[in-house]
Amino acid sequence: MGDERHEKIQQRAYEIWEREGGGDPEQHWYRAAAEIDREAAQPLTADDALPETSEIASSDILAVEALAMRTGISGDEAQELIDRLGHDRAATEQAARSLKVKRKS
């Protein structure tokens, strides 16, 4: 695999050099190696990919829990807001506080 990887990096570095019309070969080599390694880490086919689920990523669980704790809404409500508004903290905080006020009324 080492020789095959080396050849792929060499070819990709040359392609980068051609595309950019020259430049620093060492930088091209490092960029090519990073691209090749990143591509090797990706699933080869759709069947190799993890199935999509409605579950949130583990890193997002902390964001959901933190929003729920800060604003006093449920975890499900926090998840729905993050799904709808993304990770814009100001927008999710405002929406969560509005939701809590509406719920009390």
Range of the domain at 97: 58-104
64 with 40, same domain? no
42 with 64, same domain? no
Over range 36-50, report the average pLDDT.
Answer: 66
Over range 51-64, report the average pLDDT.
Answer: 57
What pLDDT is recorded for position 11?
94
40 with 71, same domain? no
72 with 96, same domain? yes
Q: Is the model's pLDDT at 43 over the cut of 50?
A: yes
10 with 42, same domain? yes
When divided into structural domains, the chain yields a total of 2
Q: Rounded to whole angstroms, what are the CA distances from 77 to 26, 72, 96?
A: 50, 10, 8
What pLDDT is recorded for position 54?
43
Q: Using alpha carbons only, give the angle 78, 84, 89 rounded to the nearest 5 degrees.
A: 60
Task: Classify residue 53: in a domain, yes or no.
Answer: no
19 with 40, same domain? yes
Give the model confidence (pLDDT) of 75-89 as tens digits.
888 888 888 887 677
Task: Classify residue 52: in a domain, yes or no.
Answer: no
